[in-house]
Chains A and B, each alone.
Chain A
């Protein structure tokens, strides 16, 4: 029973991080109908930036803020410079560009920061809470992770549901040409979508970095988990992405806890295949089919 509770708590914490990555993928998918395979590399860059700032200033908060700002800029610049030319091209072009971007960013990070893994500080203690004399697998830092991701998800929900800007972003995502005819500056909405996605990714990067160490290739598994979570929830739906992240986090936590962690990547793959077979639109998506 204790083990089950531990695994559940642990699953919620890692699931929150998957949810953040899934949200980032979902934002970009909604804005430009592109699956951003470079998301993991982008959040790796912003996490390196955070690490550099934290090391030189000694302040976690400053590092966090700078990384978020860097995420916004990185996302916007990538959309304008690299993605814009392929937005109206066949989908495969965007996939190739995203893969190229991934390779470029990994190599870039390796050149600047080297390939030696470095530790990344956690915001709060990673010693589990003590409840009734037993230490559970959930630490103050996990509380921080969950709260941050909840805040990001709520912030995005308010932006999309309750603000004129969010209304324009949704319109641009669903029917770009109609939105344009209603005076929406569609290009700007796409840029903003990428910027917000990179910001969300930057948050995920900082949250996951303490448990995986910082190295150019260390963020690839988190992208895969985030992708599975996003597909699980339906790439189109931000609430779906959050739920998908949680479900995947729990599932992988149970699998690695009861069957061994070596099986976790396989379990993620099995879940992905099952979802694509049974509900290709995602568990929480209103649309019936998808053209990925």
Chain B
């Protein structure tokens, strides 16, 4: 009987509400991300996708609800502490620090884990394109390289949960496919619980185990990707394909 009960999810978001003044950016959002799985969060601009990630990582404080990381309540903890517990957040617009070199960006990602962090070399193995640029300022990287660097930098600390905010933004279709394949690969090989926020619903669903659709701060669907893609009403209303 115990075997039939699944272990608690790696990341649980429970009835979270986040307000900016009078605006409810998130209005009772709940979702789970399992170990080794990708949950895609979809929805139009202003649906609350970025706010959801910022609430989970502690950059904004929810007014109600809880965020639970591997069984521990992390709601209202300082960002630095949440990050130390194994959560990595790759922000929208990539968050690469252009004034630092590629290598400095990578080293920065692992400073707080000291010896347990991955070495830059392990990340270069994952993203060989970054090796030749290691001593250049990150501001010189192309869009795709920046995306690789910011994901690589998040991996240096060996997180358990990875939040990705629109990794496909501004990338050519071929690169989008590459990034998505890599996201899938990270969940499969490292067992990461990945929460993937995307406007590009079709490519996100192609690698996700679960699709969550947000609209005006509420969850309007939480289903298997195939079901979401098959639901014409949802697709037309919220996903744009």
* B108 engages A182 (CB within 8 Å): yes
- The answer to whether A167 and B100 touch (CB under 8 A), given A178-B91, A181-B95, A182-B83, is yes
What's the nearest-Cβ distance from chain A to residue B172, in Å? 24
| B70 on the A face (CB < 8 A) | no
Give 12 A-B contacts (CB < 8 Å), ordered by A residue. A168-B111, A174-B98, A174-B100, A175-B97, A179-B108, A180-B79, A181-B57, A182-B108, A183-B80, A183-B83, A183-B84, A183-B113
Q: Closest 10 interchain pairs by CB? A: A183-B112, A178-B95, A183-B83, A174-B99, A180-B79, A181-B89, A175-B97, A174-B97, A164-B111, A171-B108
Chain A positions within 8 Å of B, measured between CB atoms, are 164, 167-168, 170-171, 174-175, 177-186
Number of interface residues, chain B, beta carbon within 8 A: 23
Residue of B nearest to A168 (CB): B111
User: Chain B contacts of A181 at CB under 8 A?
Assistant: 57, 59, 79, 83, 88-89, 91, 95
CA distance A262 to B98 in the complex (A): 44
Residue of A nearest to B93 (CB): A178
CA distance A167 to B153 in the complex (A): 14
Write the B137-175 contact mask toward A (1 if CB under 8 angstroms, else 0). Answer: 000000000000000010001000000000000000000
CA distance A183 to B113 in the complex (A): 9
* A182 engages B153 (CB within 8 Å): yes
* A168 engages B95 (CB within 8 Å): no
A171 contacts which of B57, B88, B100 (Cβ < 8 Å)?
B100
* B79 engages A178 (CB within 8 Å): no
User: Chain A contacts of B111 at CB under 8 A?
Assistant: 164, 167-168, 182-184
* B107 engages A167 (CB within 8 Å): yes
- The answer to whether A170 and B83 touch (CB under 8 A), given A178-B91, A181-B57, is no
